[in-house]
């Protein structure tokens, strides 16, 4: 019985880092979306995980004729947020 509990505990422990990675990705998207929302309606283009605790989020924000692209680097907080204008055609 003890072996089953140990094996079960080990299996659960093995899942935790993946859960933490997923949670940090979701937190990054939420935080970066909130930061970009000041520029208009947000569309997330891509995310890239550099490590379990660091995620880069790319996206656009649009309000009327104004469009901007952004790059947001998230750890447990937003570490950097860069915005560029997207020229109108």
Mean pLDDT by 10 residues, the chain (89 residues): 41 44 79 98 95 92 96 96 93
* pTM > 0.95: yes or no: no
pLDDT value at position 22?
62
At residue 3, the pLDDT reads: 42
The owner of tokens 């997330």 is 44
**What is the predicted pLDDT for the residue at 23?**
62
How many angstroms separate the CA atoms of 6 and 27, rounded? 31
Label residue 50 exposed, middle or buried (CB < 10 Å: 0-12, 13-18, 19+): exposed
Burial (Cβ within 10 Å: 0-12, 13-18, ≥19) of residue 32:
buried
Helix (H, G, I), strand (E, B) or coil at 35: helix
Number of folded domains that form the chain: 1
Helix segments in the chain, DSSP class H:
2-36
Q: Which domain holds residue 33?
A: 2-85
């Amino acid at each position: 019985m003890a072996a089953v509990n140990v094996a079960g505990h080990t299996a659960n422990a093995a899942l935790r880092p993946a859960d933490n990675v997923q949670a940090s990705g979701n937190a990054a998207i939420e935080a970066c979306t909130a930061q970009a929302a000041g520029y208009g309606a947000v569309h997330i283009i891509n995310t890239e995980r550099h490590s379990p605790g660091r995620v880069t989020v790319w996206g656009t924000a649009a309000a009327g004729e104004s469009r901007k692209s952004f790059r947001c680097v998230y750890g447990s907080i937003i570490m950097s947020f860069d915005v560029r204008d997207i020229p109108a055609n």
